A and B are shown apart, each in its own frame.
Chain A
């Protein structure tokens, strides 16, 4: 029988406000240990929380971008549990009355639009950082002792919970790329998984394709890149199918994904798990965002990536649309095309060359880029690459590069081609036995020999005829 994965995501986004959620300690990476703390975020006796207005507004902004309803009344609650990185013995988090509920994100897929429900987006405070020392250093298991740095403690986090509407690792990846780009464009977070400002947990289960039952799900944590998330999900899906098909029962559990080995290692069940004794935080009062605030935020929303992908897919194709938009490159592409560049070529140059050269798309003069796109096959590859790499430099002009011509004189190139083929007899043999994919290899060698000066179109032709002959 065929199985359908059922996936829900839990995403934590660290907001880039200037100060923490409930105190006015500065937030920022790389400050000295415990130098960004105060009585509030250290949980000293008598200290009291005061919410960060900007964090609240940004949460509403994100909620609106995710198509959520903004709750007329949101309430902070206390989630009670003990851990050294939790200075008060409870985390302040929205619980039964979150700020944003019932949203929907349309994920444009290759063949269709796919709707992913947003159950809630709520505001909470981040935990501090605990380092485990000794034993297997860094790992909790068998550490000699732990050290706590409260700088990160109390940083504002938005937790987004999706409905189990995702049915493949790829859908999950595309959804997350879209969400990340949306967050970045709203300017509320860097949303970088490597830095931990974007964290994703996946709840995974499988069911017989076609059925709508919900079987036992497992949670996967610790996946610190979109690729690993996709792999982690695939691994867990495979594991569960294996279990069901071998007549077993999937048991609810939490796994850590080990990027290095690709292995899923079960977490030891937390003691007295999940009796957090939530109750309304009596040190805070409810949030009732004024209608005019919500409307101002709604009106201020930019055109969102999902909509732009849909539009772009019609002009180009789905893959390129996704790459350009989730890469934040579609703006540059439009300008380049407006400046006369051929759309498909422009898309390839922007998505490959510009990104490859690590150039800031925002700083690129579109008109100059358009000229390079048009000339990319006429001028030497080396000149083209150099030009692209300098695109973002102040006052960049394409002219000097456009003046250069690739060597397209067959007579001049033939000896080089001959030499290359002679030097790679084995590959030539292979090619003649049908390994036509090697063509690119030979062309590459020739380009190398000519230091990128040769016209690839001519070289291509020469190589093909020589090999045929």
Chain B
């Protein structure tokens, strides 16, 4: 009997190597788990019943194009859309023998922090189904922590991998911009979107990252990794310098329980030999959100222009082309994409470009510099990943700005194109708290080493308490 709640991808590979289970049996075990808890968590939009692979099954966020398997990005406007091509990451997973177990739920076009913006209904947090799993990658996060998948891929624009991983008690990596191909990823904001792994352990995350990372000739913005991915084994943090942004201390938005779990993790890091000191990211904290909510919507407004009902997707037939496009888009897009399309169109429109989009691009330059300086003195930076633990479904749904604030701590390093790793660092009110480690450009291996050592020392149990047996 396979306990999918505890089994890591690495352990599963062991079982396969030792012929203790077949890939098909493994796949079936997860199908059974989905059968048991799937309805409650609504982690999947689509489940793949036949095992097409020789290795450990994988869940893919529904923004990742999969040939022959419907891909909707959580939007009505892509309802029934079946890609005729594989995204590069899906192809690399196939080449590695990983069978697809299903497509996971997401906020529409990955726009959101709770999956409540999914046109197909929210996912639920395995630790407390009355609460959100975070977003936009809440489906993948819920699947992994609910034992419905050993690991999965998400996409992160401003925190969509890191924040749900924090809220569900998973390890999640948002890689350095340009290390993982975006080809075939339904685009949200091209200069920010990154695909990355979610799993129960840092080693699993490193393993999956090694499978998908590396230059892709089909994505002009990718590069070759400067060094091969190392699956970490380190037990200590000797010689590792960790910088804590001084701004974190004064941040009222951070819940006390989150703050204390974060501080305990830092003490532990020091016990493991890390030098923990203070750094400064004033502009990131003051202007990061504003910068992000100009750049991301601007790019989104253009990336979402292709949904016109001409080549794919449902069409609201009008008398003329213009009528058809306007109705198709009004009926097909939900509130959040519409908000961002409007915001971005406005920010790019004649007379406003310089004040909004142009200015935001300059702020971005300063954020890049600010992070570069901080990382000159430290090997990595640390903050809580999310200011809060998982919140009840419906809590923020009515207030866009409150929802946007969920990514307060994850956004600045995304704008700087830097890698970020979420490592579970304890519980608050019985709900997971996440530690965000921000690395230098291409600094993934350093994050893996530190994350692994901390993970061992913290001994966090990734299985939701209510599901433990």
A binds B: yes
The minimal Cβ–Cβ distance linking A53 to chain B, given in whole angstroms, is: 12
A266-302 interface mask toward B, CB cutoff 8 Å, 1 = contact, 0 = none? 0000010011011100111100000000000000000
* Option from B83, B191, B220, B322 in Cβ contact (under 8 Å) with A48: B220
| A39 interfacial contact with B, CB 8 Å | yes
- Find out whether the CB atom of A48 lies under 8 angstroms from the CB atom of B298: no
- Find out whether the CB atom of A80 lies under 8 angstroms from the CB atom of B348: yes
Bound complex: CA A42 to CA B81 (Å): 14
B53-75 interface mask toward A, CB cutoff 8 Å, 1 = contact, 0 = none? 00000000001010000010100
Bound complex: CA A355 to CA B353 (Å): 55
Bound complex: CA A437 to CA B342 (Å): 74
* Option from A39, A45, A84, A274 in Cβ contact (under 8 Å) with B73: A45
- Find out whether the CB atom of B183 lies under 8 angstroms from the CB atom of A47: yes
Chain A residues with Cβ below 8 Å from B220 are 48-51, 283-285
- Find out whether the CB atom of B308 lies under 8 angstroms from the CB atom of A82: yes
| A120 interfacial contact with B, CB 8 Å | no
- Find out whether the CB atom of B302 lies under 8 angstroms from the CB atom of A277: yes
- Find out whether the CB atom of B191 lies under 8 angstroms from the CB atom of A82: no
| B462 interfacial contact with A, CB 8 Å | no
Bound complex: CA A83 to CA B189 (Å): 22
| A396 interfacial contact with B, CB 8 Å | no
Given A82-B325, A277-B348, are A43 and B302 neighbors across the interface (CB < 8 Å)? no
Bound complex: CA A84 to CA B299 (Å): 21
Question: How many of chain B's residues touch chain A, expressed as a range?
Answer: 35 or more
Chain B residues with Cβ below 8 Å from A277 are 301-302, 345, 348-350, 353
| A44 interfacial contact with B, CB 8 Å | yes
The residue in chain B whose Cβ has the minimal distance to the Cβ of A80 is B302
The minimal Cβ–Cβ distance linking B79 to chain A, given in whole angstroms, is: 13
| B221 interfacial contact with A, CB 8 Å | yes
- Find out whether the CB atom of B305 lies under 8 angstroms from the CB atom of A82: yes
Chain A residues with Cβ below 8 Å from B302 are 78, 80, 89-90, 277, 279
Chain B residues with Cβ below 8 Å from A42 are 311
| A180 interfacial contact with B, CB 8 Å | no
B306-318 interface mask toward A, CB cutoff 8 Å, 1 = contact, 0 = none? 1010111000000
Question: How many of chain A's residues touch chain B, expressed as a range?
Answer: 20 to 34
- Find out whether the CB atom of A44 lies under 8 angstroms from the CB atom of B218: no
**Candidate in A49, A80, A274 with the most chain B CB atoms within 10 angstroms:** A80
Cβ < 8 Å to A, chain B residues 291-333: 298-299, 301-302, 304-306, 308, 310-312, 321-322, 325
Bound complex: CA A82 to CA B306 (Å): 9
Given A80-B348, A82-B308, A87-B306, are A45 and B81 neighbors across the interface (CB < 8 Å)? yes
The residue in chain B whose Cβ has the minimal distance to the Cβ of A49 is B220
Q: Other than A46-B65, A50-B218, give 9 A-B pairs with Cβ distance below 8 A.
A: A42-B311, A43-B306, A43-B311, A46-B182, A46-B187, A87-B311, A90-B305, A146-B321, A279-B348
Q: Looking at chain A's contact residues, is the secondary structure mostly helix, strand, loop, or mixed?
A: loop
**Candidate in B310, B311, B321 with the most chain A CB atoms within 10 angstroms:** B310
Chain B residues with Cβ below 8 Å from A48 are 182-183, 218-220
Q: Looking at chain B's contact residues, is the secondary structure mostly helix, strand, loop, or mixed?
A: loop
Q: Which residues of A contact B (CB under 8 A)?
A: 39, 42-51, 78, 80, 82-84, 87-90, 146, 148, 271, 274-275, 277-279, 282-285
| B387 interfacial contact with A, CB 8 Å | no
Closest 6 CB pairs of A and B: A89-B305, A282-B190, A277-B348, A282-B191, A46-B184, A45-B186
Chain A residues with Cβ below 8 Å from B306 are 43, 45, 87-89
Chain B residues with Cβ below 8 Å from A44 are 65, 83-85, 311-312
| B87 interfacial contact with A, CB 8 Å | yes
Bound complex: CA A146 to CA B350 (Å): 31
**Candidate in B187, B304, B322, B345 with the most chain A CB atoms within 10 angstroms:** B187
The minimal Cβ–Cβ distance linking A447 to chain B, given in whole angstroms, is: 61
| B209 interfacial contact with A, CB 8 Å | no
Bound complex: CA A285 to CA B215 (Å): 14
| B416 interfacial contact with A, CB 8 Å | no
B80-94 interface mask toward A, CB cutoff 8 Å, 1 = contact, 0 = none? 010111010000000
| B185 interfacial contact with A, CB 8 Å | yes
The minimal Cβ–Cβ distance linking A195 to chain B, given in whole angstroms, is: 26
The residue in chain A whose Cβ has the minimal distance to the Cβ of B311 is A42
Chain B residues with Cβ below 8 Å from A284 are 220-221
| B121 interfacial contact with A, CB 8 Å | no
The residue in chain B whose Cβ has the minimal distance to the Cβ of A88 is B306
The minimal Cβ–Cβ distance linking B198 to chain A, given in whole angstroms, is: 19
* Option from A46, A80, A84 in Cβ contact (under 8 Å) with B185: A46
Chain B residues with Cβ below 8 Å from A283 are 182, 187, 190, 220-221
